Amino acid sequence: MEQSTATRPHRGDELTVKIDTLAHGGAGVARHNGYVLFVAGGIPGDTVRVAVGKAKRAYAEARTLEVLQPSPDRIAPLADHPGAPWQVIPYARQLEIKQQQVDDSLRRIGRLDGFTLEPIVAAVEQWRYRNKLEYSFGRDTDGRLICGFHAPGRWEEIVEVRDCMLASEAGNRAREEVVEWCRAQGLEPYDRRSGQGFLRNLVVREGRRTGELQVRLVTSPGRLDGESLAGALSGAPGLLWTRLESLGETTMGGQTELLAGAERLEEELGGLRVSISGEAFFQTNTEMAEQLYALAIEYAQLRGFERVYDLFCGIGTIGLLMAPRAAELWGLEIVEDAIADAIRNARRNEIDNARFFAGDVRLVLRELVERAGRPDVLVVDPPRAGLSQKVVRRVIEAAPKRIVYVSCNPTTLAPNAAQLVEAGYELTKVRPVDMFPQTPHVECVAQLERRAAS
Ligand SMILES: C[S@@+](CC[C@H](N)C(=O)[O-])C[C@H]1O[C@@H](n2cnc3c(N)ncnc32)[C@H](O)[C@@H]1O
């Protein structure tokens, strides 16, 4: 039945609601006169006062203003951190919810059945697990330069962070040193409303095993005394400066210059020594990436004679860990710097049966099959949007015996897996991995086997 506009909440309304469940993506779900509200900051069992944001015909987004009656599940938060919205849910419960959400996606969105759902792999560290943090510059109410995160739901407002509990102490120190230096230089933050100002973002990356740091300052075009900034940082991190012309909130693109130290960050993972370029993707939880990759290797069931494809390979980590267990490895990735890293990483780890190519999977997978031959095992690790229909069709054409799907979003894994099942594959097993404690994000690895022709 269509909701009448008289009872439908509108942007700016304040309401009191009770949260029933959690949606994918982490918002609390509440109902107001049958109308669905996705409430940021609410967990099941809470009664909250909310402000309504974007409102559609069937649902609206809302933000918690006050928790009037807390859920019996709620625990005290450890850190004032917009990047850790689930910290009020006990960790064991977070794991249960993630396990349930993966199951729910596969069954309800993908209409899949008959697979084994293995128990979620819990995180090694529940805090300070990120090897990369992207901060934004802004001003506090006194006009002082600050560095932190966007306030939830407010793109133009920055909340200062003093001790980011998702970063290591060394990463926090690097951020504080940069901010102190910027204040001493009198540099202005970028104003997201007017597009004026200089300092935009600060990206701090850390080699968790090597102890190396990489600091990348992202600004609008202008002047910067790189030598002075390098001198203000302890521990001689790699220092990069990216100048961006665009108005959007991004740290990608633009012109990047090395100001001091090493251009690439060094890390160790699963016995590999790898170097990572400034803009190449690298899993943000090193310790859990090792577990994710170990699971991908287990699900690949390699016996040594296989031709393996690693699609969306980044700097080649999954493929390089699989190559010694296979006959040959072919990696494909769109970011050229990441492919240069993958080739370098193969050489320095003395892996000589791996080849890497830069290209869009959508456009060049067919060509790869013509050149390399059909894969026995095909690994995909796409971004959150999952595989496009066209890529799924190309994968089906490539006809691997086994597909290992590494997914950072079960709601896109589900329809992709359903298409593959429709085309003759069986979804055999799936295992969630908790890479991001205190957040709603969940990764998982799925295994699909080609059914024998009857
Ligand atoms: C989730 S990351 C996985 C990277 C790598 N497997 C790892 O574990 O570090 C997804 C990767 O897909 C790449 N990518 C995105 N779209 C692509 C496309 N159309 N073709 C090839 N690579 C793409 C991104 O640059 C990114 O490196």
For the chain, the domains span 14-74, 93-125+285-450, 132-264
pLDDT digits (tens, 9 = 90+) for 211-234: 999 999 999 999 999 999 999 999
Q: Which residue has its alpha carbon closest to ligand 1 atom 27?
A: 314
User: Which range is most confident: 46-55, 233-242, 254-263, 299-308?
Assistant: 299-308
Cα diameter, the chain:
74
Q: Is the CB of 381 under 6 A from ligand 1?
A: yes
Residue 356 has pLDDT above 70, yes or no: yes
CA 336 centroid distance within chain: 20
Quick: pLDDT tens for 309-340.
999 999 999 999 999 999 999 999 999 999 99
CA of 381 relative to ligand 1 center, distance in Å: 7
Q: What is the dihedral of CA 283, 286, 292, 297, to 10 degrees?
A: 100
334 touches ligand 1 (CB under 6 Å)? yes
Mean pLDDT over each residue of the chain, to the nearest integer: 93
Over residues 393-417, the mean pLDDT reads: 98
Band of pLDDT at residue 26, cut at 50, 70 and 90: confident
Mutate to test the pocket of ligand 1, among 313, 333, 336, 341 (most ligand atoms within 8 A of CB): 333
Sorted by sequence, the CB contacts under 8 Å of residue 133 that are 6+ apart come out as: 164, 166, 167, 171, 175, 203, 204
CA atoms of 429 and 413, how far apart (whole Å) = 13
Beta bridge partners of 48: 17, 67
Q: Are 334 and 360 in contact (CB under 8 A)?
A: yes
Mean pLDDT of 102-120: 97
Residue 5 reports pLDDT greater than 60: no
Residue whose CA is closest, atom 16 of ligand 1? 334
DSSP letter at 216? E
Confidence of residue 254 (pLDDT cuts 50, 70, 90): confident
383 C-alpha to center of ligand 1: Å? Answer: 6
Question: Does the structure show a pLDDT above 70 at 193?
Answer: yes
Pocket test for ligand 1, best of 292, 334, 394, 413 (most atoms within 8 A of CB): 334
User: How close is the Cα of 281 to the center of ligand 1, in Å?
Assistant: 7
Distances (CA, A) of 223 to 181, 196, 220, 242, 261: 14, 15, 9, 12, 20
Q: Residue 6 has what pLDDT?
A: 47
CATH code for 132-264? 2.40.50.1070
pTM recorded for the entire structure: 0.92
What one-letter code names the amino acid at 187?
L
* pLDDT above 90: percentage of residues in the chain: 83
Nearest CA to ligand 1 atom 13: 312
Confidence grade of residue 454 (pLDDT, cut at 50, 70, 90) = low
**Cβ of 244 below 6 Å from ligand 1:** no
CA 348 to centroid of ligand 1, rounded, Å: 22
Q: Which helix (H) or strand (E) holds 375?
A: none
Report d(CA 335, CA 96) in Å as an integer: 36
Interval between CA 170 and ligand 1 midpoint (Å) = 28
C-alpha–C-alpha distance, residues 340 and 338, integer Å: 5
Whether residue 313 has its Cβ less than 6 Å from ligand 1:
yes
Distance of CA 307 to CAs 328, 347, 356, 376, 407, Å? 5, 19, 14, 5, 22
The residues that are catalytic are 408
- How many Cβ atoms are within 10 Å of 72's Cβ, its own excluded? 8
Give yes or no on whether 14-74 and 93-125+285-450 have one common fold: no
Handedness of CA 81, 84, 90, 91 (dihedral sign): negative
Ligand 1 touching residue 282 (CB < 6 A): yes
Average pLDDT rounded to a whole number, residues 273-288: 92
Contact, 379 vs 354, CB < 8 A? no
What are the tens digits of pLDDT across the range 149-183? 988 767 778 999 989 999 999 999 999 999 999 99
Is 74 in a helix, a strand, or coil?
A: coil
Residue having the nearest C-alpha atom to atom 6 of ligand 1: 313
Asked whether 283 lines ligand 1 (CB < 6 A), one says: yes
Assess whether the C-beta atom of 238 lies below 6 angstroms from ligand 1: no
What is the CATH superfamily name and number for domain 93-125+285-450?
Answer: Vaccinia Virus protein VP39 (3.40.50.150)
Provide the pLDDT for residue 4.
46
Q: Is 312 touching ligand 1 by the criterion CB < 6 Å? A: yes
In this structure, what DSSP letter does residue 428 have? E
For the Cβ of 361 lying below 6 angstroms from any atom of ligand 1, the answer is yes
User: What's the CA gap between 337 and 316, in Å, rounded?
Assistant: 11
Q: Which two tokens stand for residue 59?
A: 């649902």
Work out the number of other CB atoms within 10 angstroms of the CB of residue 160: 16
Partnered with residue 255 across adjacent β-strands are: 243
Q: Does domain 14-74 have CATH number 2.40.50.140?
A: yes
Sheet holding 377-380, edge to edge: 116-117, 425-433, 443-450, 402-407, 377-380, 307-311, 328-333, 354-358
Residues constituting the chain: 454
Q: Report the alpha-carbon distance of residue 119 to residue 444 in Å, rounded.
A: 11
Which pLDDT belongs to residue 1? 39
* Cα(77)–Cα(81) distance, integer angstroms: 9
Residues forming beta bridges with residue 379, ordered by sequence position:
310, 404
